[in-house]
Amino acid sequence: MATGTIRYWAAAKSAAKTAEEAYSARTLAEALDAVRERHPGELSRVLQRCSFLVDEQPVGLRPHESVELTEGGTVEVLPPFAGG
């Protein structure tokens, strides 16, 4: 089990009502399951549209169960951004 930080941006930050929080999980899927339990409602809906960076690397289309988290790592939660 690894521990690290989840950082929320834009709509995810608003829905979570925090900019960041700790994770304790083996995979991205486990970390996101815990987030959904802590923040039911709007954040769960926002997460369906988000992309993720794990230790600055894009997750892309990889299954979240296959994305291992690292001790002291960072997960960035990035909702779609409008404009350019």
Domain chopping of the chain, boundaries: 2-78
pTM above 0.75, yes or no: yes
**In which band, very low, low, confident or very high, does the pLDDT at 82 lie, cut at 50, 70 and 90?**
low
Distance CA 4, CA 2 (A): 7
Picking from 34, 38, 48, the residue whose alpha carbon sits closest to that of residue 18 is 38
Q: 46 with 38: CB under 8 angstroms?
A: no
Q: What is the pLDDT of residues 34-76, one digit of tens each?
A: 999 999 899 999 999 999 999 999 999 999 999 999 999 999 9
Reduced to 3 states (helix: H, G, I; strand: E, B; else coil), residue 29 is helix
Q: Are strands 73-78 and 51-54 parallel, antiparallel or unpaired?
A: antiparallel
State the Cα angle at 83 between 78 and 84, rounded to 5°.
90
Query: Which CATH superfamily, name and number, covers 2-78?
Result: Beta-grasp domain (3.10.20.30)
